Structure 1
Amino acid sequence: MIDHTGIPVADFDRAQSFYDKAFAPLGASLLMMVPLEHTGGVKVGGYGRERPVFWLHETAEAGPGRHYAFSARSRAEVDAFYEAAIAAGGRDNGKPGLRPHYHPDYYGAFVFDPDGNNIEAVCHAPG
């Protein structure tokens, strides 16, 4: 049901560096930057596979408490996402593995991004 969503980030360049690396294993990248003249000088960019679906916008009001799960096409993509996110400065919030308390085939990994948001990659395909 969700077409697109976004989060506030304190430092766009730092967040971009993190998400560029964390999303690469999922086949997603920064697809669009909104021209500054349309945002009042605020950096706004959208990530996705075919079109922008996850937006970052720079603001002083960023902070923790948000959770976003991104679909992975395989368990190997979940593993690669986790490794890339940790290498990019993310903090562990749940190593890759099955979460049968959610669903028998739920395989996910969780990291905190530089602003403290809980970012997850999940694959629902059977092992």
Structure 2
Amino acid sequence: MFDHVKFGVSDYAASKAFFLRALAPLGVAVVSEGTPDYGVELSAKGKASLCLFQTDQKPAHLHLAFVAHNRRQVDDFHRAALAAGGTDNGAPGLRPQYNATYYAAFVIGPDGHNIEAVCHAPET
């Protein structure tokens, strides 16, 4: 839904590795990269991008929700994000409080941000 989101991270290498591994099941890869203070752009097939850069500033907590095309991608994201060092913040499953087909998983990333993958499609 967004064109790009750029935010600072306290450990560029750790955050880059975390997001690349956690979002690989969603088709996300490096599109471009500069020095750590400029950052890296991550995207899935030229769609919206996530940009990270090194900073000493303490960013506020952030919630990022990534589109998953099916429920399996949500499950794969959750496993990959935990393996990449994320902390579970909600196992894959339906969230009927949002809507009847809202299937999502949540993890806390290296800087304490709440990272989500969500599929709005009904189970196939």
Q: Give the TM-score normalised by structure 2.
A: 0.92
Structure 1 unpaired stretches of 5+: none
In structure 1, the partner of 2:86 is 90
Preserved CA contact (<8 Å) 1:28 1:47: yes
In structure 2, the partner of 1:73 is 69
Cα distance in structure 1, aligned partners of 2:2 and 2:58? 22
Q: Once superposed, what is the RMSD of the aligned Cα atoms?
A: 1.5
Verify: 1:124 aligned to 2:91, yes or no.
no
Shift of 1:116: 0.4
In structure 1, the partner of 2:12 is 12
- Indicate the percent of aligned positions where both proteins have the same amino acid: 43
Preserved CA contact (<8 Å) 2:28 2:43: yes
**Higher strand residue share:** 2
Q: Which moved more, 1:83-92 or 1:55-64?
A: 55-64
Cα distance in structure 2, aligned partners of 1:98 and 1:71? 15
In structure 2, the partner of 1:46 is 41
Structure 1 letter corresponding to 2:17: S
Cα distance in structure 2, aligned partners of 1:4 and 1:17? 19
Structure 2 unpaired stretches of 5+: none
Helix, strand or coil at the partner of 2:7 = strand
Structure 2 letter corresponding to 1:32: S
Cα distance in structure 1, aligned partners of 2:68 and 2:11? 26
1:21-65 alpha-carbon deviations (Å, 9 max, x no partner): 10110011111113x4xxxx6141011112361110110114451
- How many equivalent residue pairs? 122
Helix, strand or coil at the partner of 2:25 = helix
Preserved CA contact (<8 Å) 2:9 2:52: yes
Verify: 1:111 aligned to 2:107, yes or no.
yes
